[in-house]
């Protein structure tokens, strides 16, 4: 079945450490996104990519980095510069980048700080 796979499901970060969240899709979608979810705040866009080898900052990109070397993969690195990384991270994709495109989501990664 086609879909989006996020790993790991749970991740713990030590102070000063960089961690990478994996996101893989087999939907052949061009656009991919990373969202951060905090209780009571909805979803906030971190980064998005409309095509391979290209990505743009979202609303809360500081302390995060991404790459898009393959169409199927869009990993997110939470760097030590992100001082409050504890959150639920969701990866999503869409067939295109139009305003009415449906977003397909992975099952998320819960990141916590040790």
Partner 1 sequence: AQSVTQLGSHVSVSEGALVLLRCNYSSSVPPYLFWYVQYPNQGLQLLLKYTSAATLVKGINGFEAEFKKSETSFHLTKPSAHMSDAAEYFCAVSGFLKTSYDKVIFGPGTSLSVIP
Residues at the site binding partner 1, with contacts judged by CB under 8 A: 4, 6, 31, 35, 40-45, 48, 50, 56, 58, 90, 92, 97-100, 102-103, 105-108, 110
C-beta of 25: minimal distance to partner 1 in Å?
12
C-beta of 107: minimal distance to partner 1 in Å?
5
Q: Which is nearer to partner 1, 85 or 106 (by Cβ)?
A: 106
C-beta of 80: minimal distance to partner 1 in Å?
27
In whole angstroms, what is the distance from residue 26 CA to residue 4 CA?
7
φ, ψ for residue 93, nearest 5 deg: -145, 160
Q: Which is nearer to partner 1, 7 or 18 (by Cβ)?
A: 7
Task: Please classify residue 78 by burial: count the beta carbons closer than 10 Å to its beta carbon, then call 0-12 exposed, 13-18 middle and 19+ buried.
Answer: buried
Q: Which is nearer to partner 1, 19 or 55 (by Cβ)?
A: 55
Q: What is the dihedral of CA 64, 69, 73, 76, to 10 degrees?
A: -10
In whole angstroms, what is the distance from residue 32 CA to residue 49 CA?
5
């Amino acid at each position: 079945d086609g879909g989006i796979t996020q790993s790991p499901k749970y991740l713990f970060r030590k102070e000063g450490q960089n961690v990478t969240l994996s996101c893989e899709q087999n939907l052949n979608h061009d656009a991919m996104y990373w969202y951060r979810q905090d209780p009571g705040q909805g979803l906030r866009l971190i980064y998005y990519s409309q095509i391979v080898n290209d990505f743009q900052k979202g609303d809360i990109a500081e302390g995060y980095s991404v790459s898009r070397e393959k169409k199927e993969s869009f990993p997110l690195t939470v760097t030590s510069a992100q001082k409050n990384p504890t959150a639920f991270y969701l990866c999503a994709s869409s067939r295109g980048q139009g305003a009415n495109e449906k977003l397909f989501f992975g099952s998320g990664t819960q990141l916590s700080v040790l």
